[in-house]
Amino acid sequence: MTTYNVTIFGIHLKISPIAFTLPIGKDGWDIYWYGIIIATGFLLAVLYGAKNAKRFNINFDKLLDVVLITTPVSILCARTYYVIFDGEKLSGVSDFFGFGSNSGFSGLAIYGGVIGAAVCGTLMCRCKKIKILDALDLAAVGFLIGQAVGRWGNFMNQEAYGSFTGSSFWGMESERTILEMGTGLVHPCFLYESIWCICGFFVLNHLSKKREFSGQISLYYCAWYGFGRAIIELMRTDSLMIGPIKVSFALSLLICLLAIAVLIMIKVKKSESEESLNYVEVFSDNTESTNETDNEDLKEDKNE
C-alpha cells in the first residue's frame, strides 16, 4: 500500500490514498479516500438542495430525478475533459473506465464535471419542467460545498499543489512533492481552493436569500469561482495545458469576465428601466396635479 510522509503547517503526517481494499478479484479492489471524500461532498450538496429547494421555487422530488441522471453524465464529462487536455494515451474503452486495474476510474477534471452537469442538468430540467435558472442558482451553492470538501481528496492523493513557497508556515512537503519538485515547501493549492469555496458558499448562501432575479446566484458563482481558480491555477505545477497555456486558468478567467459582464449589463438595464418608470410616475403625478388645478380654475370662473 502506498503511503506518503507529509509535512503541512509544521505537522508531520503519514497518509495513504487508499482507505481500504475490498476482497474482489485476484488482488482486491482498492477504495480510495479521493472517491469517499468526493462522494461526501456530493452528499452534502444534495442535502443542501433538499433543505433549500423550496426557497428557490423548486420541487425537490423532480430535482432529485435530474440529479440521478446528471451525476453519472458529469463524471463521464470530467473524465473526458481530463483525457482530452492531459493527452492521456488510451489503448481502448477499458482504459477510459479503468477496467482491469485495481485502482479503477481515475483522472478527473472538475471543470469537465461542472460543464457536463450544467448541460445535462439544463436538458433534464426542460424534461421535468423545472425552471432552469432557479435550478442553476441552487446548484451553484451546492457546487461550492462539493468542491470545498472534494479538494481534500487531492490532499490524500498528494496532488493539486503549487510551486515553492520559500519558508512560509503554510507550505507543504511530502515524498511525492520532493520526488517531482525537489526539497522545499510548496503551495498547498488544494487547501487554497477549499478555503475559497467555503467562503464562497457562505457568501452565495447569504446572497441567495435576497435574489433579485433567477440566474443571479449562478452568475455570482461563475465570477467567484472563476476568479479564485484563475489565481490559484497560476501557482499550480500540474495544470492541464494547451501548448504554453494553462487550460483551467484561461477558462476560469473567461468565465469570470463573462459573468461580471452579464451582471453589469443586467444592472444597467434594470437601472434604466427603473429610471424610465420613475419618469412616467412623476409625469403622471404632474399631469394629475395640473388637471386638478385646471378644474379648480374652471370652477372659480363659473362661480364668478
User: Quick one: residue 154, left, alpha or beta (phi over 0 = left, psi -120 to 50 = alpha)?
Assistant: alpha
The domain locations on the chain are 4-58+131-278
Q: Are 45 and 142 in contact (CB under 8 A)?
A: yes
Q: Give CA torsion, residues 32, 36, 37, 38, to 10 deg.
A: 100
- Say what the pLDDT of residue 102 is: 47
Q: Give the pLDDT of residue 101.
A: 55
CB 10 within 8 A of CB 169: yes
Task: Output the pTM of the full model.
Answer: 0.82
Q: How many CB atoms lie within 10 A of CB 63?
A: 25
pLDDT category of residue 298 using cuts at 50, 70 and 90: very low
**pLDDT beyond 50 at 289:** no
With cut-offs at 50, 70 and 90, classify the pLDDT of residue 87. Answer: low
Flag whether pLDDT at 112 surpasses 70: yes
Is 18 within 8 Å of 1 (Cβ atoms)? yes
| Residue 83 confidence class, pLDDT cut points 50, 70, 90 | confident
Q: Quick one: cell of 21?
A: 481494499
- The H-or-E segment that residue 37 falls in is helix 33-52
Angle, alpha carbons 260-261-263 (nearest 5°) = 65
Chain segment 169-178, per-residue pLDDT in tens? 788 999 889 9
